[in-house]
């Protein structure tokens, strides 16, 4: 098979982009969840977690 290196780099790049986005999404979701926990704990009668 010719041009296999191009094929390799195309699919590698797709996976890097998709994995990077999923990672950033999970980081942002985790950050907002911890922010919500902090805010809830400040509410009257609120508790940690």
Distance CA 7, CA 43 (A): 54
How many residues bind other proteins, per CB under 8 A? 26
> Minimum distance between the CB of residue 47 and other proteins, rounded to whole angstroms?
15
Contact between 45 and other proteins by CB under 8 A: the answer reads no
CB 13 within 8 A of CB 7: no
- Name the token pair of 22: 């999923």
Binding site residues, other proteins, CB under 8 A: 1-4, 6-7, 9-11, 13-14, 17-18, 21-22, 25, 28-29, 32-33, 35-36, 39, 42-44
């Amino acid at each position: 098979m010719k041009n296999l290196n191009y094929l390799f780099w195309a699919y590698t790049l797709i996976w890097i982009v998709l994995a990077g986005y999923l990672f950033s999404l999970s980081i942002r979701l985790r950050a907002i969840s911890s922010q919500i926990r902090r805010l809830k704990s400040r509410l009257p009668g609120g508790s940690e977690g």
